[in-house]
Structure 1
Amino acid sequence: MTYKKMKILFIGTVEFSYKALSSLLENEFEVVGLITKKTSKFNADFHDLTPLAKQYGVPVKYRTKDNEEELISFIKEKSPDVIYCFGWSHILSNTILTLPPYGVVGFHPAELPNNRGRHPIIWALFLGVKQTASTFFIMDEGADTGDIISQEIIKIENDDATTLYQKITRKALHQIVTFSEDLQKNKGNISKIVQDKNEGNTWRKRGKSDGKIDFRMTSKAIVNLVRSLTRPYVGAHIEYGTEDVIVWRVENETTIFDNYEPGKVLEADEKNGIVVKTYDGAIRIIEHEFKILPIKGDYL
């Protein structure tokens, strides 16, 4: 039995958005339009979706600071059955949320109703959370509070931002194909799990100061901070002189240095990295952007 193709309008602007859109197109779902941005200083993992849209002949409309009415007109013109909004850092108006008959499907890489809000991959790694999830839901006017249509648990092991982003992406791409087939087959009528808006927690927006390495922190906290902010994100940083030096990878140093103050450089060379005293031990900085290496005895 064949089903009438569901018309999808896609909204997104990051690396995950690109892979999700690519998967939909490769699986021959009908994408009738794309809303994206030409560039973004806000998203560290920004990805230009335009070449992919052009390859498949998908009409594109760019978001600007004040073109909400243009976007609404574009959506009405394309008359989608459903909107997919994956990797978008802007609030969608209630007008847009109510336009498609099947609703607007959003994505949140966390175990909703827990860990709603901003920067879920970064916070999960920094806080040492043991598992997260890939969650798709019907968007409402709340922040990540809509009815869940697909959720898969993902274990966090020896991951950093790069590997966890990849894990979540692999799982999510499979989910997208599955629930898209269900939506298409059942004309939008699929099972949903209603979130209790009084349950769970919401993570706040991170600022630059949240990425600063303070060697009065424990070694574990510094390792978690660095792994949470490594690529595709902005990197943790050390304030060194008048500059912020990006740190991409560190390791816990097992040698005990009880009688040294936090921040003291204990070793420094190009080959073996930079060993720095922390509150309860030491860490070795493996990958960094120091232009000139600090020397033994310096303080960071």
Structure 2
Amino acid sequence: MKIVFIGTVEFSRKALQKLIEMGAEIVGVCTKKRSDFNSDFVDITPLCKENEIPFRFVENINEKENINWIASLSPDIIFCFGWSSLIKKELLELPPMGVIGYHPAKLPYNRGRHPLIWTLVLGLDKSASTFFFMDESADSGDILSQKDFEVFASDTAKILYDRVIGIALEQIEDFVPQLQKKNYQRIQQDNSLANIWRKRGQADGKIDFRMSSQAIYNLVRALSKPYIGAHLEYNGKNINIWRVRVVENSQQNIEFGKVLDISDNKVLVKTYDGAIEIIEHQFTKLPTVGEYL
């Protein structure tokens, strides 16, 4: 089974490494030289060079010259793991077995953008790792493999990201032999259950102390490394916040956003329903007690 691999993030690198270790026949790789969009971008070409796999740098995977290059490799199947743009019909129909995509959510629920970030922002306690046959819509094709996972209150973006990669690699070990033997199932998604998460913008990462303490905690952990970080505005500048702790505060006559205490480089701030202790941050000059954030 000849495979063309498309990807450009940390998960892509680990998935490609797993396929190589399994002895899969990788006939070509499409990737990017750089990415301003993917905060978890990784150069996977050293892995290609080490294993003598032909590779091609692309921007628009759907351009005719890129499709022609892939076609020249005569792939039976394409794996697209860690790619931020839709693949169009001509490429989807090129390999006889189709194109396999990946989405770390419990499809048909939660299709769309930034699934791990939204999972943490919304405080979900369960999700799933899903491989599926791609079609012209986002994350709507038949499911090949799906494995549930729990999301814990202590999970940061990095912890969850690493756990999901581990689960996905186990799935790859299971379904690649099934594909090779033509012994796999395609499970059609129930589109009536689907929702689509939107692309997030800079405003979605802004901490507003009118939010509940738990909502702020979820936002901060969702955007922690490898992502860009949540932020608050102070003296006209955006200050990245990397780690916070929920603190009970029953004072009803204190307005949200007020700095309650400064200790050991930590900043305690009143929220709508309690307080948040800012533990890891990028303040160059700390605010003072009584100021408002």
TM-score by length of 2: 0.97
Of 162, 165, 168, the match for 1:166: 162
**Which residue in 2 is equivalent to 1:259?**
253
**Which residue in 2 is equivalent to 1:280?**
273
Distance 2:234 2:50 in 1: 46
* Pairing 1:149–2:118 present: no
**Which residue in 1 is equivalent to 2:230?**
236
Distance verdict in 2 for CA 1:65–1:184, change over 3 Å: closer
Partner of 1:245: helix, strand, or coil? strand
Count, aligned residues: 292
State the shift of 1:66 in Å.
Answer: 8.5
Q: Deviations over 1:182-231 (max 9, x none)?
A: 10122xx5211101222221111111100000001010100011011111
Distance verdict in 2 for CA 1:66–1:36, change over 3 Å: closer
Distance verdict in 2 for CA 1:66–1:155, change over 3 Å: closer
Distance 2:103 2:55 in 1: 24
**Which residue in 2 is equivalent to 1:3?**
none
User: What amino acid is the match of 2:197?
Assistant: W
User: What amino acid is the match of 1:15?
Assistant: E
* Pairing 1:130–2:94 present: no
Q: Provide structure 2 residue ranges, at least 5 long, that are not aligned to the other structure.
A: none
Between the two proteins, what is the percent identity of the paired residues?
Answer: 54
**Which residue in 2 is equivalent to 1:226?**
220
State the shift of 1:16 in Å.
Answer: 0.7
Aligned Cα RMSD in Å? 1.3
Structure 1: which 4+ aligned runs deviate by more than 4 Å? none
| Most deviating of 66-75 and 16-25 | 66-75
TM-score by length of 1: 0.95
What does 1:1-300 align with in structure 2 at a 5 Å threshold? 6-65=1-60, 68-157=63-152, 158-186=154-182, 190-269=184-263, 271=264, 273-300=266-293
CA contact 2:246–2:277 (8 Å) conserved in 1: yes
Q: Provide structure 1 residue ranges, at least 5 long, that are not aligned to the other structure.
A: 1-5
Q: Deviations over 1:17-57 (max 9, x none)?
A: 11111111122111111100000010111111111111111
Partner of 1:198: helix, strand, or coil? helix
Distance verdict in 2 for CA 1:273–1:14, change over 3 Å: same
User: What amino acid is the match of 1:233?
Assistant: Y
